Structure formats: structure tokens, C-alpha cells
Amino acid sequence: MGFDAVCTLLVLVATVVLLAIERLPAEVVAMLGFAALLATGVLSPADAYATFANPAALAVGAMFVVAAALERTGALEVIVRLLRRHPGRGERHLLLLVLPPVALLSAFLNNTAIVVLFTPVVIRLAREHGISPARVLMPLSFLAILGGTCTEIGTSTNLLVASVVSDHGLGRIGIFEFARAGLPLTVLGLLYSLTVGRRLLPDEPRLAPSWERKEPEYLSRLTVLDDSPWIGQRLSPEVSPLPAGASVLEIERDDSRLVDPLETVFLRPGDRIIIAAPAGVQEELRRLPGIRFEDRGEGLDALHRHREAIIFNAIVAPGSEIEGKTLGELGMRQRYGAVVLSLERHGRRIEGSIRDTPLAFGDAVSLLGTPESQDRIRLERQLVLLGDRTPYRRPRRERMPLAIAVLLAIVTGAALGWLPLPLLALMGAVVLVATGCLEPKEAYDSVRLSVLLLIFGMLGLGRALETTGLAEAAVHAAIAPLGGLGPQFGPIAVVSAIVLVTAIMTELVTNVAAAALVTPLAFAAAGDLGLAPIPLAMAVAYGASACFATPIGYQTNAFVYAAGGYRFRDFVRAG
């Protein structure tokens, strides 16, 4: 094994480990690996330029813009309104009403955006009909994933694999060629969700936020005494004398209420601090010096009656600007006029001080605020309100027909081979911005740079696997023996092995990373065993979308994981 192969192997191992432990964002890990390969000379400058010229990233970025334009013009809202008018007569009817359109839309638009759009509506409909949202949200995610396997533009992995096939001069995968296996898989997934899958889903409604499901919080009032050491102090986290777990809701001073921002208020004698805290923390509050403790003996719902406050739940949206930032940095009270009551990740409440915890996609936040707080959240679009029925912005409905026509033109042009799909998507995105379906800033914001960087980084690593011969060596060691099963069973075994390896890698890292790493193995297997390369490459794409067994392998699963109050084992059992 030469120097280049050793370097590539080390970078590969380090990349997979870092992706699995999630200490750094996936795109940062991918670009670190790309930089390491460049620095060691494994990848030449020409290889780097060729990687950044890959049309897959262009197609993915352009389709982000197209999906945003359809949402902004209200095209997707039409389907949502139809669901509200015909909510069905029970759980099975609700599934039949929701899952087919979700799968259809996911075949042409980003499935994460579809799930984010449908989740609040599905939660509302389920609650109105006495159905646990947990009975619907997991099938919603699964059908969105399966629907994306039906077309070339359905998922970023399909676009990536099709682009790599074209780059290798192996021909072109048509936009609907993925439907040969994707459509039957989607139909089977729908039947599974309506029959066997329903029996494996949790029955109990666990959507309530973690602070409500676990230890309840109660209201208390702390009055600052005349000789209190608290006088002149602020309640900012750096200097606050309050114990961890106590949330300051407001300060009553004379006949007024101080709400926003409390961190800048210097306490005076007679100030009354309204606090929400669990029972255990209440006991600590009793022992604080310089204050008079009053246990109001009522829960947070009392504020609904006294202050017109609202307790609501939200989830960090995909591609949100607040990802990676702490609650302290964001200043939720100043930003939204709301108090953070709890933070939940992967189905578990984060205990202790949450101010310094960086937020991640799919985190569930319980907030106490006002209708104005919800309006601010809708306007910023960094959080998704659960059970919300109010449109985030007034859609540009007069441009809806144009947005739909552009999508149909992209699909038709790709199907007839007028131009390569990336160029058609780019042209469509430009038309949507030029005609006002989407403002330029909205178009820029819709493109998720993290996804594009992840694609570039993993394509570079995949190229290194090919050029150093590691891909061929892996095929000889693991996959080639399967070809010895004969012409009848050998190809089936090879395809099955590729799908299985890709699916396992997807659960450990990301679907884009898995597709970029396994596609070179598929090409090597095709050359070594004399098999057609395109079916093996498509097997990689299907395997990269087989993310059902865990909530962390695919973004749609991560989103409904928090929204549905699932446990990890729920995905293992049903997926």
C-alpha cells in the first residue's frame, strides 16, 4: 500500500469517526478531510477544481430555490388547506389523507422541507380527532424518504449518484429511472404504514414537552426585602443568585410588570420576582437570604389566566441560523419576548443550566410567551411552531401558477433530455427570482451551504478512494467473493451487499457521505465482476435513503423524533 493509499485510509477513518461522534458539523468534517487530501498531495489541484465543478451541487442548490419558491407562493399551502378541510374519520383515514401527497411532493421537492411544512398541520389534525401525533409523524417521515427515491431530483443523494455516473462517462440516469424501484418501494411503505407498521408505533400520546411529562414546574414569588443583598444586582446568568432550574418569568415593580429584557434590570427593594421552578428547586428558593418566599401553589397554567401568556413548543428548523448558537447568545427573551422553560434533544431533557448549550437541528424548545412572541418566531423562521395553523408569511399567491409551471418545465425538460438537469434547475431558479416569486435574499437564504460543502468534501474523498486503488481493494476483499455465487445469485448478492453497506453507513454518518463513499466501491465492483455499473450506482442511492431504524440517520427522522416525543427504540421497532 503506497503513501497516497495510507493517507486516504487514515483520512477516511478519521472522517467516519468524526461524523459518527458529531462533535463537529458534518460539512466541517468533510471539508477538513478534503483539505487533508489536498495538503498531502493525494488530490491534485486539478482534482480539486473538478470536484467543485461537479454539477450535483449546482442541481441541489437550484432545487432548494425552486422548493422555496413553491412554498413562498403558497403552492404547498393549497394541499395543507385541503387536509384541514378533509381531516378523515380516524387514524387510518388520516394516514391515507396525508401520506400519498407527502410522498408525491417529496419526489420533486426537498423532503425535509415537506416534513417541516406538514408536521404542524398533522399535529393539529391529530389532536383535534383524539389521535396521538406519534401515530402519524413517523409514517410521515418514512413516506417522505421513500417518495424521494422515485426521481432524480427527489433527494440530494440521487442527484449526487446520477452526477457521478455522468462524470465517469457511463451515460445518464433519467429523471424517472429511479421510479423503477422507488415507486414499488413507496407503495410497499404505504401499505406497511397502514397495516403492520401501525401496530409497532407507540400508543400513548407523548407529544407534551419534557417539562410537562416529567417534573412539573410551579410558580413562586420572591419579594426583595429592604436589607437584601440582592438590591442593585441583575438577574443575568453570570451574576444571578438563583439556583439552576429556576426560570425568571417577570418582575413586578409597583403597578407595572417588567418582562423584556430582565437581564438589564437592577433590583430594588419591594421588587417581586415571579419564578417557575420544579418542586426541588422551590425548596432551594426558600432558603435564599434577603427575600420573602411565597409559594403560589399553582402551575404554569395559572399564567394563562392571569397574564394571557401562552406555553408553546417549537423545533429548531433545518438550516436555521441559530444552529450552533447557545440560548445565552441568542437572548430568547429579547429576541422573541419568550422565556425558555426546557430544552430537549433526542427525546431527553437537558438538565441543569441550558443557557450555554449550543442548539442543533431538531432540538425541541418549550417556551412561555405571548401571541406576539409567536408572531416574531413566524417572521424569523428559525424555529418551527408545533401545532401551528397560521401561515408564517402572507404567500404571493398571484405568482403560484408561475412557480408550478417552472417546476413542471424542469421535470419535463429533464425527462425529454432538452438539457442536463442541473442547468434546467438553475434556469428555473433564475426565472423564479427574476419574476418575483422569490426575493433575492429569500433565494440566498434557501440554499443550504452546509449541504453543498458536505457534497464537495465527500466527493473529494470518493475521488481519492478511486485514484489510490482503495475502492478496488475493498471490492476484492469484501464484495468480489459474492460474484462467485454464479450468474443467477451473484449479481443479486452484490446489489444486496451494496444496499446493506450504504444503509449501515447512512445510519452512522449521513446519507450524502455514505453515497459519496460507496459509489466508488460500486463502480469498482462493476468493473471487477463484469456487471452493469448504473444499477449498482442506483443501489447505492436506494441504500442511502434506507434510513428508518434510527432517528439520527436522516433529517426528517430527526425532526419528527422531537415533534412526536418518540424514544430511540420506537424507530428501531417500527423502522
Nearest alpha carbon to residue 555 among 544, 565, 541: 544
Q: What SS3 class is residue 251? A: strand
DSSP string, 446-487: HS-HHHHHHHHHHHHHHHHHHHTTHHHHHIIIIIGGGGGG-T
Residues 415 and 175 sit within 8 Å (Cβ to Cβ): yes
Residue 409's pLDDT is 94
Long-range contacts of 498-502 (CB under 8 A, 24+ apart): 498/522, 498/525, 498/536, 498/539, 498/540, 498/543, 499/539, 499/540, 499/542, 499/543, 499/546, 500/543, 501/543, 502/539, 502/540, 502/542, 502/543, 502/544, 502/546
Q: Which residues of the chain have pLDDT under 50?
A: 205-215, 298-306
Domains observed in the chain: 59-205+395-449+555-574 (no CATH), 208-385 (3.30.70.1450)
Nearest alpha carbon to residue 60 among 145, 142, 143, 152: 152
Q: What is the pLDDT of residues 484-543, one digit of tens each?
A: 555 556 678 888 888 888 888 887 777 888 888 888 888 888 887 788 899 999 999 999
Residues 511 and 557 sit within 8 Å (Cβ to Cβ): no
Q: What is the pLDDT of residues 134-193, one digit of tens each?
A: 889 999 999 999 999 999 998 889 999 998 888 888 888 888 999 999 999 999 999 999
Residue 428's pLDDT is 95
d(CA 352, CA 358): 14
User: Which grid coordinates belong to 348?
Assistant: 431527553
Residue 208's pLDDT is 44
Residue 431's pLDDT is 95
Residue 181's pLDDT is 92
Residue 490's pLDDT is 66
Residues 5 and 19 sit within 8 Å (Cβ to Cβ): no
What is the identity of the amino acid at 397? R
